[in-house]
Amino acid sequence: MEQYCKVVYLLAVIYYLSGAFSEIVFIDDGPIDGTVMTSRLGVNFHAFLRIPYAEPPIGHLRFLAPVRKRGWTETYNATYWGPICVQSNPSSDDEMSEDCLYMNVFSKNLSASMPVIVYIHGGSFAWGDAKSQAGPQYLMDREVVLVSFNYRLGPLGFMSVGTKEIPGNAAMKDMALVLQWVNRNIVKFGGNPNKVTLVGWSAGALAVHALMLSPMVNGLFHRVVAISESLAGLRSLPNDYLSLAIRYGERLNCTTTDTDSLVDCMRNKSALELVSISFRDHSMCATTGGTFYLTVEQELGQERFLSNDPVHLFSTGNFARVPMIIGRTSEEESSTAEALLNSPRLVDLNNNFNEVGPYCFGYEGGNTPKSRAISDAIRNYLPYDVIDIRSMNALVNLFGDVNTGYSQHIFVHRISQYIPVYYYKFSYVGRFSFYNYPRDKPYGVEHGDDLQYIFRLSFLNNNFPMIEQSDPENFMVERMTKLYEHFANTGDPNFDSNEIFWPTHDNVSEYFMDIGTHMIEKNGLYLERYAIWSQNIGSHLSGNTYFVIALGLTVKLWLDL
Q: Residue 402 carries which DSSP code?
A: I
Cβ proximity of 171 and 151 under 8 Å: yes
Cβ proximity of 214 and 318 under 8 Å: no
pLDDT of residue 545: 37
Burial grade of 389 (CB within 10 A; 0-12, 13-18, 19 or more): exposed
User: For 308-351, how does the pLDDT look when each residue is reduced to its tens digit (9 = 90+)?
Assistant: 999 999 999 999 999 999 999 999 989 999 999 988 889 999 99
Burial grade of 164 (CB within 10 A; 0-12, 13-18, 19 or more): exposed
User: For 147-159, how does the pLDDT look when each residue is reduced to its tens digit (9 = 90+)?
Assistant: 999 999 999 999 9
pLDDT of residue 432: 95
Q: Which candidate, 445, 339, 353, 450, places its Cα nearest to that of 395?
A: 339
Partners of 25 in beta bridges: 32
Predicted confidence band of residue 1 (pLDDT cuts 50, 70, 90): low
Task: Report the percentage of the chain scoring pLDDT > 90.
Answer: 72
Model confidence, pTM: 0.92
Neighbour count for residue 282 (Cβ, 10 Å): 8
**Does the pLDDT of residue 138 top 70, yes or no?**
yes
pLDDT of residue 359: 79
Q: Which residues contact 77 (CB under 8 A, 6 or more apart)?
A: 33
Helix, strand, or coil here: 155?
helix
- Which of 101-110, 367-376, 502-511 has the least mean pLDDT? 367-376
Higher-confidence residue of 9 and 63: namely 63
User: For 471-510, how does the pLDDT look when each residue is reduced to its tens digit (9 = 90+)?
Assistant: 999 999 999 999 999 999 999 999 988 888 999 999 999 9
How far apart are the C-alpha atoms of 401 and 398, rounded to whole Å? Answer: 5
**Does the pLDDT of residue 171 top 90, yes or no?**
yes
pLDDT of residue 548: 37
Cβ proximity of 144 and 488 under 8 Å: yes
User: For 185-197, how does the pLDDT look when each residue is reduced to its tens digit (9 = 90+)?
Assistant: 999 999 999 999 9
Distances (CA, A) of 267 to 58, 235, 248: 9, 33, 13
3-state secondary structure 256-278: CCCHHHHHHHHHCCCHHHHHHCC
Q: Which candidate, 47, 40, 1, places its Cα nearest to that of 20?
A: 47
What backbone phi and psi angles, to 5 degrees, belong to 46?
-80, 140
Cβ proximity of 214 and 294 under 8 Å: no
**Does the pLDDT of residue 364 top 80, yes or no?**
no
